[in-house]
Chains A and B, each alone.
Chain A
Amino acid sequence: MKFLLVEDNADLAAAICSRMQLDGHVIDHADTIQDAIAFSETGEYDLILLDIMLPDGDGRTFLQRHRAGKRDTPVIVLTARSQVSDRISMLDLGADDYVTKPFDHEELQARCRAVLRRKSGTAQTVMQIGDVAFDPVAGHLTVAGEVVNLRNRELRLLELLFNAPGQIFAKQKLVDRLFSYDEDVSENAIEVYIGRLRKHLEPSSLRITTLRGLGYRLDHD
């Protein structure tokens, strides 16, 4: 997906970009409202990540302008405020959701998915490998004509595998991605979800291969 990040703090911006790119997303960075406006007018973005406190003004100004220009690119606001009252004003101004800093990337991803799901026309997000169609935003897996609704962890696990078929994913890495940092889970918790995915993919030409001591790999026959 293509993101626009509007954030004036260089370190944070770099960190976010780095993290996003890890998942294969394209992300542009603007550090002022002026730049943000310029970017948003020229580029076609799937989602805008907007920091509220910017050097040349309040992020709300960008929001107002963005919406006034009848653009429907969803905006998720990054804010240091956690007051419930702020949420209302932001939603009133046209933001679709918000995360408070510091935020969990998985939560951000989840919110992005939710926001995009609400938008109509997300056909672009469907990925196809072999005879399997996977829509990570909608959470659908189409195998041999059958649409399977995936649960969140299954979905995220499959998304990881789908994005890099043929790549080996270590169990720990998967644990780190699927479970929250205060959940003390053993590596074998992954087994359960891998099992479920295998079941869903059975009628397809895709397989998840266990590589002992190394991890899992999505293979295409």
Chain B
Amino acid sequence: MTEGVQVSGSLRNRLAVTLTGGAAVLAVLLFIVVRSYAAQIAQQGQDSILSASVTSILDAAVIRDGVVEIDFPYASFSMLSTPMDDRIFYAIYQDDTLLSGYGDLPRTAGTATRAYQGSAVRLATASRVLIGANVRTRISVTVAQTQDALSGTLSRISRNVALFGAGFFALATLLSIWATAATIEPLQRLTTSVTRRGPQDLSPVAKPVPLEMLPLVASLNSLMARLDQSLRQSEDFIAEAAHRVRTPLATVRSYAEATLQRVDREENRQALRSMIRAIDESSRAAGQLLDHAMITFRADHLERDDLDLVDLLRELVLRLTPVAEMKDIELHLRADGPVIINGDPILLQNALRNLIDNALKYAPGESVIGIRIITEPRFQVEIRDQGPGFPADEIANLTERFSRGRNAVGTIGSGLGLTIAQDVAAAHGGSLALSNLPEGGACVTFSL
């Protein structure tokens, strides 16, 4: 059922990938944003402390007796202690002269990050103008600190955000799997409900479906309605055709039969007999063609049911007994008890009727046709007659469509009987076997 349908992608996969991909992108974005924000905040923290240190040093600058004195408190450097024991550097300039500190410390304005003594250091600079009695001078203080603690904090934050992001991603993935399953579920439900239908069920889908599936289901319903109507029309057409073809044929045959009884001349008699034979052949052909068409159609979707094979055969025998009696043939059904099998009753009835019909055609008058049901190793129906049997060299071909063996010379009937039976057997997973009996006569074994 799924062959011939091209598969391109998968809704589930698309949804899952989109959601998961989106979650991944968001998680990465989250990581980047939070980390850069954290970096900013952390840097601001360091800058605040550096600025406070600079300020505390600047505040301690005074001019005493024309000389600049900067008696900065212990706290100026004490506040720069970090858990990672960052190194500190400072430089105090009076105008452009170095008063004390590290002379090779880079000179910057405000806050900046530079390389110094092999590490990245953060610098904060501020200046103040000191006004003394006859002197006016600018004091510039730079305090710098390595960024080990900062990096440490950032790594910790990065790790935590990464973990958080990964957790979020994992959660989002789970959520997307669930969401995907939940979204696909109505589709699967619809599939199940349509698949579960019997082969003849073309009724519209009644269960409520999500809004997005509405156009699909509406189209499906409309398709099924059209198909249903088309099938009905075909059925009606076939019935009508059968009626229109067969009724005139019936008229001709009845008249022919009647006339046959009234003519005396041999040539007229032969002519009428030929006419009747021709009508019978065409009628049988039409019947078998219709049967075969029906079986071919039905074999794709068997309507399996539990049925009693014995009952089925008994009914067939009952139906065909009048015909058998006309040749004084006895239809002998042998069965011990009910035989319950699982199959399509209409197809089975059709196939078996065709086989018994065949046997009736070829069995000589006043003979016995034996019908036997076998249950081990498989379910089998065996039909034996006392006729001429199958021509040995043609047995293999007999079931091919329209094939009639040499033994059929002179016998009315298209060759579809065995083909029909074989098709039905095959549809049930069984087979049809033809053989000749050692004591004479044909044996047909219909297996399921």
> Which residues of A does B touch, CB under 8 Å?
9, 11-12, 15-16, 18-19, 22, 53, 78, 80-85, 87, 97, 100-107, 110-111, 113-114, 151-153, 170, 172-173, 176-177, 180-184
Contact = CB atoms under 8 A, between A and B. Distances in A.
Interface stretch (B3-11, B116-124, B185-193, B244-252): B244-252
Interface string B327-355: 11000000000000000001001100100
B251 A11 contact: yes
Contact of B243 (A18, A22, A53, A173): A53
Given A12-B250, A102-B279, A153-B328, A172 B411 contact: no
Nearest to A13: B251
Given A19-B258, A102-B254, A82 B326 contact: no
Given A84-B346, A114-B321, A181 B287 contact: no
A101 B247 contact: yes
Given A18-B255, A102-B249, A107 B323 contact: yes
Given A101-B246, A101-B249, A107-B322, A12 B254 contact: yes
Contacts of A181: 273, 276-277, 280, 412
A102 B247 CA distance: 7
B301 interface: no
B228 interface: no
B232 to A, nearest CB: 15
B326 A152 contact: yes
Contacts of A110: 322-323, 325-326
A101 B346 CA distance: 21
Interface in B290-308: 290-291, 294
Contact of B365 (A15, A81, A101, A153): A153
Contacts of B88: none
Nearest to A156: B326
B257 interface: yes
Contacts of B411: 182
Contacts of A78: 250
A121 B260 CA distance: 34
B384 interface: no
Contacts of A83: 290, 294, 346
Contacts of A106: 326
16 contacts: A15-B250, A16-B254, A18-B254, A80-B246, A80-B247, A83-B294, A102-B253, A102-B280, A111-B322, A151-B328, A152-B328, A153-B326, A180-B326, A181-B273, A181-B412, A182-B412
B214 interface: no
Contacts of A53: 243
B269 interface: yes
A153 B412 CA distance: 21
A15 B412 contact: no
B239 interface: yes
B367 to A, nearest CB: 13
Measured as residues with beta carbon below 8 angstroms from the partner, the interface class of chain B is 35 or more
B78 interface: no
B231 interface: no
A92 to B, nearest CB: 13
Nearest to B254: A15
A7 to B, nearest CB: 9
Given A18-B254, A100-B287, A152-B325, 18 more contacts: A11-B248, A12-B247, A12-B254, A15-B252, A18-B255, A80-B239, A80-B242, A80-B247, A82-B242, A101-B249, A102-B251, A102-B279, A107-B323, A110-B323, A110-B325, A152-B327, A182-B280, A182-B412
B246 A182 contact: no
A170 to B, nearest CB: 8
A194 to B, nearest CB: 15
Nearest to A11: B251
A81 B242 contact: yes
A182 B249 contact: no
A19 B254 contact: yes
Contacts of B260: 176
Contacts of A184: 410
A25 B277 CA distance: 26
A176 B256 CA distance: 12
A40 to B, nearest CB: 22
Contacts of B287: 82, 100
Nearest to B247: A9
A196 to B, nearest CB: 11
Nearest to A113: B322
Contacts of A19: 254-255, 257-258
Nearest to B312: A84
Contacts of A85: 346
Contacts of A113: 322
Nearest to A98: B319
Q: Which 7 A-B pairs have the closest CB atoms?
A: A15-B254, A101-B250, A102-B250, A110-B322, A102-B253, A80-B243, A80-B246
A105 B254 contact: yes
B261 interface: yes
Given A9-B247, A82-B287, A103-B250, A22 B322 contact: no
B283 interface: yes
A213 to B, nearest CB: 13
Nearest to A178: B326
B131 to A, nearest CB: 120
B57 to A, nearest CB: 109
Nearest to A52: B243
Contacts of B328: 151-153
A11 B283 CA distance: 18
B331 to A, nearest CB: 13
A102 B285 CA distance: 12
Contact of B269 (A97, A100, A176): A176
Nearest to B364: A183
